[in-house]
């Protein structure tokens, strides 16, 4: 079934068309119904999105839970999507707080929380549930173009080179990641500290500082250039908590670390779950193809959809989306200090560290961690469903035919897609049970059943949260350290070294 949607001229590759014509856009083909459609918000192009006549199998099973509905009396209003020049991703939203009469730049997750709980004048937030999956979506009202439209695109920098509005810490981190490699590194040093105040969630002030790389003895594992970075200042109360964490780490024997996308953001990797959510909204038929049933019955459709998914996952790194360029990009992705911190614990403190990660990028292993449980698989690997042989994606990813195993079977990406069971659930539970220290880092703990792993810890084990924000879960953490994860790792490195130099050895 086709659906009506509002667009603007900049949403289309072609600028000259007539009503009734089907015109291509970045997110599909549209039939032009009215090129001068007017409502109280302005003049738009009324279109009909041309959907493929496929059966969207999971559609009817989604349970949608809406937050506060659109109302002119709601306190917040989205005035634009945050656009970083040279960066194809939307980095969040500029949101007006009508109560405080101020504009602030928030990440997608922060915007969703605010709108879901308090409501907006031109948008609504919802949760879509299809156990074990959950997506979060922000939609405009029907009288405005969707947030993917160029209508909303607002440059993060104003004409004077400063920020269009104050930015939250998460958006600042995104800006930092985006400008690395865009010949704009010198601008980082000009960022002014910004204090962002909003009813909920609370957001700390930010500052700019130079990072002194601490893992000098692990250069063999570190290839990325150290650059100035934007970070959340570590407050006195957090420093006290870090001393406790450092003591726990120094005295522990078996450490289990539960990690999420916050660990890989410093390497420029997009949140895998957010890419999935975005594609479910923009191109649901592509996502509907990424399951075992389609793989078994229509492998060509499966791999074509997987190629589209990979373009979206990696477009931060390369504007060229050939199979060859994507393969080259995969090889070039670097680890960051968050990964290296746990390698340092293994190599220099001789700790037994097990990483249980939701990330599918393989960067923990690339950094040098010995024991990594990939809960959702590894998107850069392929497996043979017949003989269980494994291959690197870069070695089989080709535009010429389907990737095949030596035994002749068609290969499948080694990653958890819609309807798949998670990998190594029993092993992950056992690792948590045996640990005397569990560190949760860089994850919202919203994804089931990963978020239930913490409930399997033994009574004597210490549980620590290191994150940029709180997590909503009914469990008591022994210590919570909130802030920039990389800065916290650097500070922990200093604190652990101060406890007793005998805890680590030189390589």
Enzyme catalytic residues: 376
Secondary structure (DSSP) of 211-270: PPP--GGGGGG--SPP--EEEPPPPHHHHHHHHHHHHHHHH-SEEEEEE-HHHHGGGT--
Report d(CA 232, CA 5) in Å as an integer. Answer: 40
CA-nearest of 421, 386, 380, 422 to 406 is 386
Report d(CA 423, CA 375) in Å as an integer. Answer: 5
What's the token pair of residue 410?
Answer: 């068609």
CA 208 to chain centre: 23
A 10 A CB-CB count for 364 gives 27
Is 387 flagged in the annotation as binding?
A: yes
Is 407 flagged in the annotation as binding?
A: yes
How many secondary structure helices (H) and strands (E) does the chain include?
A: 15, 23
Count of residues for the chain?
A: 507
Is 405 flagged in the annotation as binding?
A: yes
Is-contact 47 277, C-beta < 8 A? no
Is 382 flagged in the annotation as binding?
A: no
- How far, CA to CA in Å, does 289 sit from each of 24, 279, 302, 303, 417? 22, 12, 5, 9, 10
Dihedral angle computed from the Cα positions of residues 438, 338, 280 and 170, in that order, rounded to the nearest 10 degrees: 100
Per-residue b or e along 48-57, where b marks 16 or more CB atoms closer than 10 Å to that residue's CB = ebeeeeeeee
Beta bridge partners of 37: 44
Helices (H), 53-155: 108-118
- How far, CA to CA in Å, does 34 sit from each of 13, 239, 441? 18, 60, 50
What's the token pair of residue 305?
Answer: 């959809």
A 10 A CB-CB count for 322 gives 11
Is-contact 403 382, C-beta < 8 A? yes
For the chain, state the CA radius of gyration. Answer: 23
Beta bridge partners of 444: none
Please give the annotated binding residues for Zn(2+), written as ranges.
Answer: 384, 387, 405, 407
Please give the annotated binding residues, written as ranges.
Answer: 384, 387, 405, 407
């Amino acid at each position: 079934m086709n659906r009506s949607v509002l667009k603007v001229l900049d949403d289309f590759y072609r600028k000259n068309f007539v009503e009734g014509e089907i015109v291509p856009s970045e997110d599909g083909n549209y039939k032009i119904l009215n090129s001068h459609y007017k409502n109280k918000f302005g003049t738009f192009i009324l279109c009909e999105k041309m959907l493929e006549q496929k059966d969207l199998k999971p559609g009817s099973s989604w349970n949608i839970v809406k937050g506060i509905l659109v109302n002119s009396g709601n306190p917040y209003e989205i005035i634009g999507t945050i656009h970083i020049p040279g960066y194809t991703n939307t980095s969040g939203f500029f949101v007006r707080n009508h109560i405080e009469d101020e504009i602030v730049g928030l990440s997608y997750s922060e915007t969703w929380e605010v709108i879901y709980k308090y409501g907006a004048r031109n948008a609504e937030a919802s949760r879509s549930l299809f156990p074990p999956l959950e997506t979060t979506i922000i939609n405009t009202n029907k009288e405005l173009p969707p947030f993917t439209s160029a209508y909303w695109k607002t440059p993060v920098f104003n004409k004077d080179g400063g920020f269009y509005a104050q930015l939250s810490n998460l958006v600042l981190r995104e800006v930092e990641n985006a400008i690395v490699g865009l010949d704009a590194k010198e601008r980082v040093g000009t960022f002014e500290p910004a204090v962002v105040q909003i009813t909920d969630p609370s957001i700390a002030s930010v500052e700019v500082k130079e990072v002194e790389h601490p893992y000098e003895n692990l250069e063999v594992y570190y290839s990325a250039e150290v650059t100035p970075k934007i970070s959340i200042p570590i407050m006195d109360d957090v420093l006290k908590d870090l001393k406790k964490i450092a003591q726990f780490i120094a005295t522990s024997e078996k450490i289990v670390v539960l990690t999420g996308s916050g660990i890989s953001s410093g390497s420029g990797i997009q949140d895998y779950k957010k890419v999935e959510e975005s594609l479910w909204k923009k191109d649901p038929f592509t996502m509907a193809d990424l399951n075992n049933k389609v793989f078994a019955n229509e492998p060509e459709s499966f791999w074509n959809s997987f190629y589209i998914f990979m373009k979206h996952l990696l477009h931060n790194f390369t504007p060229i989306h050939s199979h060859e360029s994507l393969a080259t990009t995969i090889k070039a992705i670097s680890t960051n200090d968050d990964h290296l911190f746990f390698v340092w614990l293994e190599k220099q403190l001789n700790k037994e560290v097990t990483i249980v990660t939701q990330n599918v990028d393989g960067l923990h292993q690339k950094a040098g961690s010995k024991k990594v449980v990939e809960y959702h698989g590894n998107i850069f690997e392929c497996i043979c469903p017949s003989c269980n042989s494994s291959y690197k994606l870069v070695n089989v990813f080709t535009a010429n035919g389907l990737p095949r195993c030596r035994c002749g079977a068609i290969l499948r990406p080694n990653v958890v897609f819609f309807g798949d069971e998670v990998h190594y659930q029993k092993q992950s539970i056992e690792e948590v049970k045996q640990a005397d220290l569990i560190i949760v880092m860089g994850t919202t703990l919203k994804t089931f059943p990963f978020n239930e792993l913490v409930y399997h810890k033994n009574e004597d084990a210490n549980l620590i949260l290191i994150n940029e924000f709180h997590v909503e879960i009914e469990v008591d953490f022994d210590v919570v350290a909130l802030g920039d994860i990389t800065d916290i790792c650097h500070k922990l490195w200093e604190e652990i070294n101060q406890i007793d130099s005998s805890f680590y050895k030189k390589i």
